[in-house]
Structure 1
Amino acid sequence: MGHYRANLRDLEFNLFEVLGLDAVLDSGAYGDLDTATVREILREVARLAEGPIAASFVAADRNPPRFLPDEHTIAVPDSVRPAVAAFKDAGWWRIGMSEAIGGMSAPAPLTWAVNEMMICANPAIQWYSTPLMSQVLALVGTEQQKQWARVGLDRGWTGTMALTEPDAGSDVGAGRTRAIPQPDGTWHIEGVKRFISGGDVGDTAENLFHLVLARPEGAGPGTKGLSLFYVPKLLFDPDTLDLRERNGVFATALEDKMGIKASPTCELTFGANGIPAVGYLVGDVHNGIAQMFKAIQYARMMVGIKSIGTLSTAYLHALDYAQQRVQGPDLSRFMDKTAPRVPITRHPDVRRSLMLQKAYAEGLRALYMYAAAYQYESGVALVDGVDADLAARVHDLLLPIIKGVGSEKSYQWINESLQTLGGSGFLKDYPIEQYIRDTRIDSLYEGTTAIQSLDFIFRKVARDRGVAFGHVAGQITTFIDNIAGDRFKAERALLAAALSDVQAMTGTLTTYLFAAERNPTELYKIGLVSVAFLHAVGDLLIGWRLLVQAEIAAAAIDAGSDESFYRGKIAAAAFFAKTILPAISATRVVVENVDIELMDVADDAF
């Protein structure tokens, strides 16, 4: 068995007991995809993830790809190849993809459950086979480009999204890559893109294409002046897709990274070596950033889930170690020299750490499942009384939480997983040190946490006029008010206080935003506390979803189940409510009393 441990029981709990996916499936909404089939799919994906895909996790990290400068490509290590082949050949990546390009229609929560296992078993492998770009092309491309997406996907072509440049990272609108129109309707792309995941995949794919943001000659500044272009590594006949000569896009560097080392992160130069980089305007329209955002949204969800799933397997490793590691007496007999040694799971701080690792892993998974229920791509909603417009708003609201809070909290608690192992965790004998290195990137790429927090406040709350935020807050309020006896009474009260604190902070931030119309420096107040606010909202939502699960678990126990799984759900929800939710009040104090003196501190004083 490899390093990866899928929490299949929790995935099924979320899908069937929390979201009620079985009722949707058995209604025939997805054809032959019924509950029994989905359970079998999940088991098969777990087997594949824990086995063939996870097998090269360590070897690929120790022996990453090498750059071949004379050939402008990479040498893929032998250790990676079986995992890449297993990933591609199994075909599970087709779940949730458009049927127009050979995908399988499926509810979004199922799609993400499959992705969690496939990606977290070996995160670097996904970059050798990225069907997402074909999906984007199928959505926004011309009819001919949609054919390229379908046929190319069948032939194993993979794709990248090329946004970042040396001087245009988070500030995408500062991009300098330019597009020059040609008489035959194509474009020549000139510029350098940096940090491109899967920028070259060696000989593991027949062809590779890049979706490139570039500025056409004469276009305006900023993001509105950017257009999206399809630029293949190898040119091909537009009708038959028969491959031709090398296009003028070349890998000119391979990044040496802290983690996900087997992922080929490249610098790409367009128009190098005297060969033009031929590109095709996607959709024959100049609407690049909007077109690319379809990929960005997917990528942000994926990054959050990658972190969350990695925390889950790190926690399971830590739990297994702690249950077997015997060290020291029970704290209540600390002074008794004759006291027996106990497993470290008996020590209070270890129990605290393990329970919070569990709570964040399972709470964040519950949150991404809840967000996925609002995705309408598959045409069937898993939430009642919500139209497509509101569903899209709620999903957009939750994305910065999944990505920003998911990546930050997962990284924090994976470190706690390592701490559980003590000095052994620092060794490469265990996989947790690699989990830490592999997840550190998740709060950086696809938008840093600060960017996620500002996006959340400015766009997802303020510009939306609180519609989606109000819907979610209303659901939390309904849950709080739906008291059945005294069960979880204390936890509901803590959740109510946390909701009140978050709503108060939202009002305060809105006040700062309005004040900025008269005094723009008021925006500094938002910038100074935006990340803290994002974390507070994240903890509120995690606490809520854990308590929802606890109620379901309690009902299962009342119905006669004595499964320890359910008792764990109740324990995690209660401990999280009593340990984490009260801290939101402290964040409220900070938000309501922030000043901007820090912005006046001289740069040379830092």
Structure 2
Amino acid sequence: MGHYKSNLRDVEFNLFELLERDRVLGTGPFEEVDLDTAKVALREVDRLAREELAASFEDSDRSPTVFDAASHTVTVPPAYAATYKTWMDAEWWRLRVLPELGGTHAPSSLNWAIGEFVLGSNPTLWTYVGFPTATRVVWRHGTDRDKKIAEIAADKQWGATMMLTEPDAGSDVGAGRTKATPNDDGTWNITGVKRFITAGEHDLTDNIIHMVLARPAGVEGAGGPGTKGLSLFLVPKFHFDLETGELTGERNGVYVTGVEKKMGVKVSATCEMTLGENEPARGWLLGEVHDGIGQMFDVIEDARMMVGSKAIATLSSGYLNALEYAKIRLQGADLTRSSDRAAPRVPITRHPDIRRSLLTQKSFAEGLRSLVLYTASWQDEIAIGSAAGTDTTLAEAVNDLLLPVVKGYGSERSWTILGTESLQTFGGSGYLQDYPLEQYVRDAKIDTVYEGTTAIQAQDLFFRKIARNRGVAFGHLVREISGFADDPAAATKLAFERDLLVEATDSVESIVATMTADLAQTNPKVPGGDEKNVYKVGLNASRLLYVLGDVLVAWLLLRSAAIALRALDTDLPAAERSFYEGKAAAARFFARNVLPVVVAEGRIAGAVDDSVMGLDEAAF
């Protein structure tokens, strides 16, 4: 068996018991994907991921891509290329492709559940298969010409990238210098250097469509400073006939000029791309409108869901590997007989700290899975409302608020627990390549960094998703959480945990209130106003991200526990009884061990001042 250990039972529990996604399957825009089809897809991709996709995971780390600077090419290892072909031949990726482009409109919740299996078994497959997202964005924003490009790219399964980052424009995307100048034939010449481009060059597909942010030059009304001056261009690796899609054989002037040597995800070619240096890099302006950052955010938001899903998939497999090891590893006597030299050696699952560690891993892995799929369920509602012509404003706002939590909180908690708990369960063996945990830890760190670092996610959460939204989406979530916590019918056996949830939710609200007040006090014209008060907002931003994530996970775990406790009152097979007992235990453990920390964080947030900003740099 390979490294990957999935949890199909818990995925199905989330979809069909907690989130009741069977209610939307086979209806409205999802009429082609009924419950039976969804279950077949889940089980088949689960099997494929464990038995086939996971096969090249370790080999691709030890024998990564090869960059040839002379030919500007990147070659992936043969084992990985075979895995890629296996996934493409299975065609389950079509559930992510628009029906207009040869796909099937499936619920987002189903797609991200399937995504967990792929991302857990061999995560870079998702990033090399970039065309489902890229073609969807091009179709939605494009002209008839652009839609033809989307049709061709989807039909031929070309690669796709998004090019934002530059050597001097990382999180500060608006500092980008890549330039676009118009040609008489309607195309544009792009010149500049892009950095950290995932799958920027490879030999898995015949062509790659690069989605490039660049600043138009010499065009009235476009190309101003900052992010608003950026436009989005479609730049192919090879030129092709716009009618037939056939390659002309002519190379476009976009080349890989470097591949990063990385800590993890080594088979993913992270490229420096140079455009227009020795020959023109020609492309098309997407939609013939200058709205680059708005268009690109459709890609970025999908990428952030991917990162959150990858993080939880890795944590879940890490936990299940640790659990398997702990059950068979004999070390020491039971703590009650530690002074008895004749006491039998016991599996380390008998030791209190290992049990604490395993329940920490289990509760976070299962809670984060619920968070990802809960977020995806709001995306389902957006699709349903859009198809029916009903108002989707609230669904869009809640989804927008949840995305930085899924990405930022999910990646941080997953990476931390993988290292401090999952790998630690193995002791010294976890540090070796004999087990997958050391690779999991290396591969997972990038999740906290790319597609916006954790601090960027935290600032996005407060400034854009709470303050700019005037707390509408945040207030809705608080009411949902409070409605469950205040409902005795939810589960009388969870009364203590529900009280903890109420107290923790109040603390999160108090942090938001504190940050909102500090933000209001940045206006020098109001009494006591000082622009430096924004520093206090910044100092509390990541704290807010973490505690909101903890409360959301606790709420979803306790909702799951309420379902589990009802099931335990019925006759169940032994395996099902154990499953539901585990759901209840994980929720109780999380509530009792994590929610009190949220309350403490609320007190810390209220006492934050900006003194750290006045500290001389020499004192650091």
Q: TM-score, normalised by structure 1?
A: 0.97
Matched, 1:594 2:619: no
Q: Distance in 1 between matches of 2:193 and 2:212?
A: 11
Matching residue of 1:188: 189
Partner of 1:442: 447
Report the number of matched residues. 601
Identity %: 51
Are the counterparts in 2 of residues 167 and 174 from structure 1 also a CA contact under 8 Å?
yes
Q: CA RMSD in A?
A: 1.4
> Which residue of the other structure, out of 390, 393, 398, is the alignment partner of 1:394?
398
What is residue 278 of structure 1 aligned with on the other side?
A: 282
**AA of the residue aligned to 2:555:** W
Give the one of 526, 547, 553 matched to 1:536.
Answer: 547
2:560 maps to 1:556 = no
Give me the whole-angstrom Cα distance separating, in 2, the residues matched to 1:580 and 1:425. Answer: 26
Partner of 1:523: 534
Aligned with 1:79: secondary structure?
A: helix
Partner residue of 1:379 out of 376, 383, 402: 383
SS in 2 for 1:500: helix
Match of 1:231 in 2: 235
Q: Deviations over 1:137-183 (max 9, x none)?
A: 11111112112112221112110000000000000000000001111
Measured against aligned partners, the alpha-carbon deviations of 1:329-360 in whole angstroms (never above 9, x if no partner) come to 11122222222211101111100010010000
2:471 aligned residue:
466
Q: Distance in 1 between matches of 2:385 and 2:316?
A: 27
User: Contact 1:301/1:402 (CA < 8 Å) preserved in 2?
Assistant: yes
Q: For the residues of structure 2 that align with 1:344 and 1:522, how far apart are their CA atoms?
A: 50
Distance 1:530 1:421 in 2: 34
1:160 corresponds to which residue?
161
**1:149 matched residue in structure 2:** 150
| 1:505 alignment counterpart | 511
Which blocks of at least 5 consecutive residues in structure 2 are unaligned? 525-529
Asked if the contact 2:467/2:516 (under 8 Å) is kept, the reply is yes
How far is 1:31 from its partner?
2.7
Q: Give the drift of 1:26.
A: 5.2
8 Å contact from structure 2 (residues 382, 396) kept in 1: no
Per the TM alignment, residue 23 of structure 1 is displaced from its structure 2 partner at its CA by 2.9
Q: How does 1:6-405 map to 2 (within 5 A)?
A: 6-25=6-25, 30-131=30-131, 132-202=133-203, 204-218=204-218, 219-244=223-248, 245-272=250-277, 274-376=278-380, 379-380=383-384, 387-405=391-409
Relative to structure 1, the CA distance from residue 145 to residue 28 in structure 2 (aligned partners, 3 Å threshold; closer, same or farther) is closer
Could you tell me how far apart the structure 2 residues matched to 1:533 and 1:473 are?
14
After TM superposition, the runs of 4+ consecutive aligned structure 1 residues lying more than 6 A away are none
Partner of 1:603: 617
- Contact in 1 for aligned 2:72/2:256 (Cα 8 Å): yes
Q: Which residue of 2 aligns with 1:408?
A: 412
Find 2:580's aligned residue among 548, 559, 566. Answer: 566
Please state how far the C-alpha of 1:22 moved relative to its aligned partner: 1.9
Do the aligned residues in 2 keep the contact of 1:28 with 1:34 (CA within 8 Å)? no
CA contact (8 A) 1:550 1:569 kept: yes
Letter of the aligned partner of 1:68 in structure 2?
D
What do the CA deviations read for 1:489-529 (whole angstroms, capped 9, x no partner)?
10000001001111111111111000011211101111112
Contact 2:458 2:542 in 1 (8 A): yes
* Inter-partner Cα distance in structure 2 for 1:76 and 1:308: 26
Q: Deviations over 1:373-423 (max 9, x none)?
A: 1114773379xxx94110000000100110000000000111110000001
| 1:265-289 per-position Cα deviation (integer Å, ceiling 9, x unaligned) | 11000002x2100010000100000
Q: Indicate if the aligned counterparts of 1:303 and 1:403 stay in contact, CA closer than 8 A.
A: yes
Aligned residues of 1:304 and 1:402 also touching (Cα < 8 A) = yes
Contact 1:108/1:377 (8 A) holds in 2: no
Whether the 8 Å CA contact 1:46–1:117 is kept in 2: the answer is: yes
Q: Deviations over 1:351-372 (max 9, x none)?
A: 0010010000000110111111
Distance 1:158 1:289 in 2: 21
Write the letter of the residue equivalent to 2:362: K
- Paired amino acid for 1:603: E
Give the Cα–Cα distance (whole angstroms) in 2 for the partners of residues 303 and 545 of structure 1.
Answer: 20
Structure 2 CA distance for aligned equivalents of residues 6 and 595 of structure 1:
45
- Partner Cα distance (2:382, 2:87) in 1: 23
Secondary structure of 1:275 counterpart: coil
Q: Matched residues in 2 for 1:387 and 1:556: separation? A: 36
Q: Choose which of 431, 435, 441 in structure 2 pairs with 1:430.
A: 435
Distance 1:304 1:14 in 2: 16
Instruction: Please state how far the C-alpha of 1:27 moved relative to its aligned partner.
Output: 5.2
CA distance in 2, matches of 1:371, 1:451: 19
In structure 2, what is the Cα distance between the partners aligned to 1:288 and 1:361? 36
Distance (Å, rounded) in 2 between the aligned partners of 1:541 and 1:192: 40
The secondary structure found in structure 2 opposite 1:251 is strand
